[in-house]
């Protein structure tokens, strides 16, 4: 059950109830970024092709496999046996994988399946790697 009075006074977190329970003294990034631990995996971004979406080379992607992909989601898909990170746009039932810029989107050929591996819920850029 969610205590609505308390919810209204808290800052928007992007996530609901359960997050608040953890926010007493110490903030926990796991509680913020991970909704379904059993279905959440991490990947590393390779390449600058998604820079316009502010997803940089070397970023860590938080990938949630329990979510059903929707149009405009950032997703990890499998294309030709490789993982790619793209923005998914669904136009009139046709799935397209888009990069940030003017590049032509990738769509599977007629009758082919497009495998969406998971939905990217966050990307983490580390500005100073060695802690």
Q: Contact residues for another protein (CB under 8 A)?
A: 36-39, 41-51, 55, 57, 60-61, 65-66, 76, 78-85, 99, 103, 106, 115, 117
14: left (phi over 0), alpha (psi -120 to 50) or beta: left
Q: Which residue's structure tokens are 């819920």?
A: 121
- Mapped onto helix, strand or coil, the DSSP state of residue 119 is strand
Q: Closest CB to another protein among 23 and 53?
A: 53
93, 116, 35, 10: CA torsion to nearest 10: -50
Nearer to another protein, 38 or 109 (CB): 38
Q: Shortest gap between Cβ of 87 and another protein (angstroms)?
A: 11
Q: Please say which residue, 24 or 37, places its beta carbon nearer to another protein.
A: 37
């Amino acid at each position: 059950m969610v205590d609505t009075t308390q919810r209204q006074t808290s800052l928007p977190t992007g996530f609901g109830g359960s997050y608040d329970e953890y926010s007493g003294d110490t903030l926990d990034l796991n509680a913020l970024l991970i909704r379904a631990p059993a279905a959440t995996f991490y990947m590393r971004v390779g390449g600058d092709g998604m820079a316009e979406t502010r997803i940089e080379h070397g970023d860590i992607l938080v990938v949630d496999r329990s979510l059903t992909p929707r149009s405009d989601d950032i997703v990890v898909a499998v294309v030709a046996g490789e993982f790619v990170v793209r923005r998914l746009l669904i136009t009139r039932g046709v799935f397209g994988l888009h990069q940030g810029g003017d590049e032509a989107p990738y769509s599977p050929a007629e009758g082919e399946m497009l495998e969406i591996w998971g939905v990217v819920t966050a990307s983490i850029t580390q500005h100073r790697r060695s802690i």
